[in-house]
Amino acid sequence: MVDTSDPLIARDIPTCDESLAVIRFRRPEEHGIDFCQLLDSIQSSWMSRRNTLVVPGGKMYVAMKMILTPIIARMMEERKSG
């Protein structure tokens, strides 16, 4: 994490262990996002708002895979049938 009161003071790029990924969902109900499953599956994650998931930087790949895989699969199926 970088102190945003003076972000230029940071000398190094933060590592994954020092980072957080904030994932905001515009309309989670439309995509069938199961927040309970995500929270159970991604260690040390939490909800900062009803549509915002916060995950440790090192877990970002897992989170994105869990969130995007079903959405992309659904888009591909719609493309085939359309």
User: Is residue 2 in some structural domain?
Assistant: no
The H-assigned helical ranges of the chain are 28-31, 35-41, 60-81
User: Is residue 60 in some structural domain?
Assistant: yes
User: Is residue 1 in some structural domain?
Assistant: no
Token digits of residue 26? 């515009």
Q: What is the pLDDT of residue 30?
A: 84
Q: Give average pLDDT by consecutive 10-residue segment, the chain, 82 residues.
A: 69 83 91 92 96 94 94 91 78
User: Is residue 29 in some structural domain?
Assistant: yes
Structural domain of residue 28, as residue ranges?
Answer: 7-81
Q: What is the pLDDT of residue 46?
A: 97
User: How far is Cα 40 from Cα 60, in angstroms, rounded to an integer?
Assistant: 15
User: Is residue 17 in some structural domain?
Assistant: yes
Handedness of CA 12, 16, 22, 28 (dihedral sign): positive
pTM (2 decimals)? 0.78
Burial 30-63, CB ≥16 within 10 A → b, else e: eeebeeeebeeebeebeeeeeeebbbbeebbebb
Domain count of the chain?
Answer: 1
Q: What is the pLDDT of residue 3?
A: 64
Q: What is the pLDDT of residue 4?
A: 60
